[in-house]
């Protein structure tokens, strides 16, 4: 049976680029299956009049006609077309939007406040854990024409306590000051001085998004030798982020353009984006800077969700999505496995429980591969899935669990799983969870036959498996061996009972 996932699309007519993203997957964790942009430079406007340049508009309309052709045969559940600072501020912006309508699109021209709200929603959608941080977090979306800042806090309506849109986007600064960082700094200082809630906020994390800031993230990954290249939830301590920004500010455009990972057309804006980031980190007192993969586009989808949908865990939702497409067995089986094993992990943290729930859903994600390669295929797949709301150690922990789930004895993890990002206690826990999944999957391959009736319990010395009398035949030699290894990984003695009898 074909599993159909509704497709939604967003066209973002920004100050630097015009982009089409087509999303599939669960509403709470959309997956970008098509993502194309053209750097049209709409924010690089005529210096005297502030009008959009004819060449920039022509480039934008050209790529929009391509997007219209691409979408003509798409059966979309929704299409959003949004225009931001450049179209909003230019005197010929209304004429430009009229040309877009002639192509067949209905663009929504966002106000500065609306753009800031959607940017906040985007970061909140990709990092809902900020609601658990005391005092919330700071979020920023660096566009070509404007910078959207928000204070996210669980006590505020929709999670957004404060927000502001500032006219200090990277392309705007680069165009206006033409490499003169000293004068640009004055403009940036003046802009952020007008944000009273920013000074002394001292959030644990400043989540950032936007092309120029993502480019800084790529530079940081290369500079630090970080083993995972995925930008989402990569973070730096504030002092390291400030150090990187100062370094970039001192580079010439030519030097940056020749740097691996930096698009040449992004190089002129990068020193300005670095300077703005440094100023915001310093003024806010943020303790660390983390990259988010979710911004205005994802925020526009999040805005349409019900409160119940927003409350869903995006990591678990996406794990379920992949399990439905790649794993034998149904949702009841994966839920039964998680519930069955829970008594053995009574002392786990909420973070561990969340990862274990995702791992239970993914337990057979490599079930269609050759048995000899399932461990590696599952681990590498999970390491590189487009998860949101999970940091890099969390990705590695999931990969290690799935590798162990397909390995008979306690695993020696291969180097490409990057388990150096985990401490010894977490590594031990991943082996325990993996061996638990291995036992449960073998004990009840269907997952809804005996698991709902069997019961695990643990005390200081013993892991007990209690079966109903009619279920004792389920415990063959292979499941028994796997149960014994699972108990051993927990440092417990295995015991099995059926009725009043010990087996």
- Highest mean pLDDT: which range of 361-365, 416-420, 466-470, 476-480: 416-420
| Same domain? 101 vs 133 | no
Residues 237-285: tens digit of each pLDDT: 999 999 999 999 999 999 999 988 788 888 899 999 999 999 999 999 9
On whether residue 348 sits in a domain, the answer given is: yes
> Domain with 222 in it: what CATH number?
3.30.420.150
Alpha carbons 397 and 296: distance in angstroms, whole number: 30
> Domain with 427 in it: what CATH number?
1.10.3210.10
Domain count, the chain: 3
Name the domain boundary from 94, 109, 124: 109
On whether residue 482 sits in a domain, the answer given is: no
| Same domain? 218 vs 366 | no
| Same domain? 146 vs 269 | yes
Distances (CA, A) of 465 to 475, 485, 497, 500, 503: 10, 13, 6, 12, 10
Alpha carbons 293 and 59: distance in angstroms, whole number: 26
On whether residue 138 sits in a domain, the answer given is: yes
Over the Cα atoms of the chain, what is R_g?
A: 26
To the nearest 10°, report the CA torsion of 457, 334, 485, 408: 180
CA 494 to chain CA centroid, Å, is 39
Phi-psi region at 84: left, alpha or beta (left = phi > 0; alpha = psi -120 to 50): beta
| Same domain? 166 vs 27 | no
| Same domain? 144 vs 270 | yes
Q: What is the mean pLDDT of residues 411-437?
A: 96
3-state SS assignment for residue 408: coil
Name the domain boundary from 109, 130, 157: 109
| Same domain? 143 vs 287 | yes
On whether residue 327 sits in a domain, the answer given is: yes
User: Is residue 488 predicted with pLDDT exceeding 50?
Assistant: yes
Q: Are 67 and 12 in contact (CB under 8 A)?
A: no
pLDDT at 11 (0 to 100): 98
User: Is residue 495 predicted with pLDDT exceeding 90?
Assistant: yes
Residues 12-42: tens digit of each pLDDT: 999 989 999 999 999 999 999 999 999 999 9
pLDDT at 444 (0 to 100): 86
pLDDT at 501 (0 to 100): 59
| Same domain? 205 vs 265 | yes
| Same domain? 335 vs 437 | yes
Q: Which long-range contacts (CB under 8 A, 24 or more apart) does 482-488 make?
A: 482/435, 482/438, 482/439, 482/442, 482/443, 483/439, 483/443, 485/408, 485/409, 485/410, 485/435, 485/438, 485/439, 486/344, 486/432, 486/435, 486/436, 486/438, 486/439, 487/463
pLDDT at 479 (0 to 100): 93
Alpha carbons 30 and 239: distance in angstroms, whole number: 33
| Same domain? 267 vs 400 | no
On whether residue 485 sits in a domain, the answer given is: no
Distances (CA, A) of 417 to 220, 291, 336, 421: 20, 21, 28, 9
On whether residue 419 sits in a domain, the answer given is: yes
Q: Which has the closest alpha carbon to 168: 229, 109, 210?
A: 210
Alpha carbons 234 and 291: distance in angstroms, whole number: 6
| Same domain? 117 vs 99 | no
> Domain with 19 in it: what CATH number?
3.30.420.40
Q: Are 71 and 29 in contact (CB under 8 A)?
A: no
On whether residue 474 sits in a domain, the answer given is: no
| Same domain? 155 vs 103 | no
Q: What is the mean pLDDT of residues 174-198?
A: 92
Alpha carbons 311 and 303: distance in angstroms, whole number: 13
Domain enclosing residue 33, as ranges? 7-109
| Same domain? 246 vs 118 | yes
Alpha carbons 128 and 294: distance in angstroms, whole number: 11
Name the domain boundary from 85, 109, 133: 109
On whether residue 503 sits in a domain, the answer given is: no
pLDDT at 1 (0 to 100): 45
């Amino acid at each position: 049976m074909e599993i159909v996932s509704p497709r939604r699309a967003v066209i973002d007519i920004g100050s630097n680029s015009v982009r089409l993203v087509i999303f599939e997957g669960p509403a709470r964790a959309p997956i970008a299956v098509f993502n194309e942009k053209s750097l049209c430079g709409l924010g690089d406007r005529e210096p005297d009049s502030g009008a959009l340049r004819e060449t920039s508009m022509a480039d934008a309309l050209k790529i929009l006609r391509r997007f219209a052709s691409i979408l003509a045969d798409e059966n979309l559940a929704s299409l959003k077309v949004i225009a931001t600072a450049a179209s909003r501020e230019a005197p010929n912006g209304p004429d430009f939007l009229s040309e877009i309508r002639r192509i067949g699109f209905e663009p929504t021209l966002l106000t500065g406040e609306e753009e800031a709200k959607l940017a906040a929603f985007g970061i909140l959608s990709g990092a809902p854990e900020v609601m658990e941080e005391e005092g919330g977090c700071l979020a920023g979306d660096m566009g070509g024409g404007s910078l959207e800042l928000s204070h996210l806090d669980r006590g505020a309506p929709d999670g957004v306590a404060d927000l502001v849109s500032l006219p200090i986007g990277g392309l705007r600064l680069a165009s206006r000051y033409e490499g003169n960082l000293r004068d640009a700094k004055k403009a940036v200082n003046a802009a952020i001085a007008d944000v009273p809630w920013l000074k002394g906020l001292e959030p644990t994390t400043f989540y950032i998004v936007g092309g120029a800031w993502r480019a800084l993230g790529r530079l940081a990954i290369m500079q630090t030798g970080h083993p995972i290249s995925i930008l989402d939830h990569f973070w730096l301590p504030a002092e390291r982020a400030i150090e990187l920004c100062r370094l970039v500010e001192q580079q010439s455009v030519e030097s940056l353009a020749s740097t691996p990972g930096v698009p040449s057309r992004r190089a002129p804006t990068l020193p300005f984006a670095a300077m703005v980031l440094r100023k915001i980190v310093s003024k806010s007192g943020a303790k660390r800077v983390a990259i988010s993969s979710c911004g205005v586009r994802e925020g526009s989808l999040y805005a349409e969700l019900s409160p119940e949908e927003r409350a869903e865990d995006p990591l678990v939702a996406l794990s379920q999505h992949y399990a439905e497409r790649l794993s034998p067995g149904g949702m009841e089986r994966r839920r039964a496995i998680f519930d069955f094993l829970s008594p053995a992990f009574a002392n786990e943290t909420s973070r561990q429980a969340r990862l274990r729930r995702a791992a239970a859903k993914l337990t057979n994600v490599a079930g269609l591969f050759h048995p000899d390669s399932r461990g590696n295929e599952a681990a590498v797949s999970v390491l590189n899935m487009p998860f949101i709301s999970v940091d890099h150690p969390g990705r590695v922990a999931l990969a290690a669990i799935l590798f162990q789930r397909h390995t008979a004895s306690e695993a020696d993890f291969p180097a490409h799983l990057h388990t150096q990002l985990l401490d010894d206690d977490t590594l031990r826990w991943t082996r325990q969870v993996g061996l638990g999944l291995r036992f449960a999957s073998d004990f009840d391959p269907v997952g809804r036959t005996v698991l709902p009736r069997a019961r695990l319990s643990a005390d200081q010395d013993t892991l007990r498996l209690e079966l109903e009398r009619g279920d004792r035949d389920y415990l063959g030699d292979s499941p028994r061996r796997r149960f014994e290894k699972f108990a051993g990984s927990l440092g417990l003695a295995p015991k099995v009972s059926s009725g009043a009898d010990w087996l």
